[in-house]
Amino acid sequence: MGAVAFELDDLRLFLDVVDHGSITRAAALAHLSLPAASARIRALEADAGSPLLLRHRRGATPTPNGRLLASHARDVLSRHDRLRAELAEGAGATVMLPAISAVATTVLIPVLTGFLRAHPDVDVALVMRTSRRIVADVASGRVEIGIAADSVDLGRLEARPLFADRLVVAVPHGHPLDGLPEVAFADCVAHPFAGTVEVDSMAEMLLSHSHPLGARPHYRARLPDAAAVRAAVAAGVGIAVESASAVHPDSDPVTRIPLSDPWATRTAMLVTRPGVHPSEPTARLVAHLLAHADPAVTAHDDVGADA
């Protein structure tokens, strides 16, 4: 057999299958149709000369050769991402920061802008990822740090609390749910939703919590960004789940109702690999994030550590 040449996009697709246990979810993350994603995985297996996935009714799991490919793929993609960032910026001081969307678009923004003002020699690339992917990427060394929700298994990573994250459902005035003091997600999933085109950590989480209910959110509108989603909710197109920290205009004709489900109250955790010293720019960002963490969250964590 000749030399094997893997495309980077195919390696990313394969890692998404491994991390999510599903070709369907990986296809959605890559904005591919399921047949297209399946064809690319089959091509990978043909190039590798052996099966890389065990396909079953509940999804897909890697074979021994698949686990080997995943391990090397993480290393290759990590080096590639760092090289691109350093070549693009010239200074080699770009910190990759994957974070869940609930904080990446809310409380994290002012903290990051403060860091960038104080450290003009460091650039930050903030990307939205699901918690499971963030944990996998940090654990494998693909990125040095990440911000994930404590509602997922953080494995053996070092995890320090940053921000509280309470989820709410946004509904237009006069909606059947309007006026409730709180609402369970099971009572929301029957109503049409509005969301972003990008399959982000919020959409992934809602999908996972809808499975035990025997349903899934129906999105009447997939829109470019959060502002467009808010406008769609206000117009009565659908409802949306968002962080209570999201900022809205005072004139916004939308009611936000806390979700009563236990998983709707989370803590955003800064995750790093234990025993690994980060690069100097990353260490500065870590110190800044911890210095600007929510005192209520960190105090609660300290009490739990002493108990």
Write out the two tokens for 150. 């404590």
> How many other C-beta atoms lie within 10 A of the C-beta of residue 229?
22
How far apart, in Å, are the Cα atoms of 136 and each of 99, 156, 190? 13, 11, 32
Evaluated on CA atoms 290, 285, 166, 155, the torsion sign reads negative
Query: If you average pLDDT over every residue of the chain, what do you get?
Result: 85
Query: According to the model, what pLDDT value does residue 226 have?
Result: 82
Does residue 200 carry a pLDDT above 70?
A: no
| DSSP 8-state code for residue 124 | E
- Whether the Cβ atoms of residue 236 and residue 212 lie closer than 8 Å to each other: no
Does residue 304 carry a pLDDT above 50?
A: no
Same fold, 8-72 and 94-307: no
Place of tokens 């691109």: 84
- Tens digit of each residue's pLDDT (9 = 90 or more) over 135-183: 888 888 888 999 999 988 888 899 999 998 889 999 999 999 999 999 9
Indicate the burial class of 251 (C-beta count within 10 angstroms; 0-12, 13-18, 19 or more): exposed
Q: Under CATH, which number does the domain 8-72 receive? A: 1.10.10.10
User: What are the residue boundaries of the structural domains of the chain, listed by start?
Assistant: 8-72, 94-307
CA distance 219 to 237: 9
CA 272 to the chain's CA centroid: 16
Does residue 66 carry a pLDDT above 50?
A: yes
How is domain 94-307 classified at the CATH fold level? Answer: D-Maltodextrin-Binding Protein; domain 2 (3.40.190)
pTM: 0.65
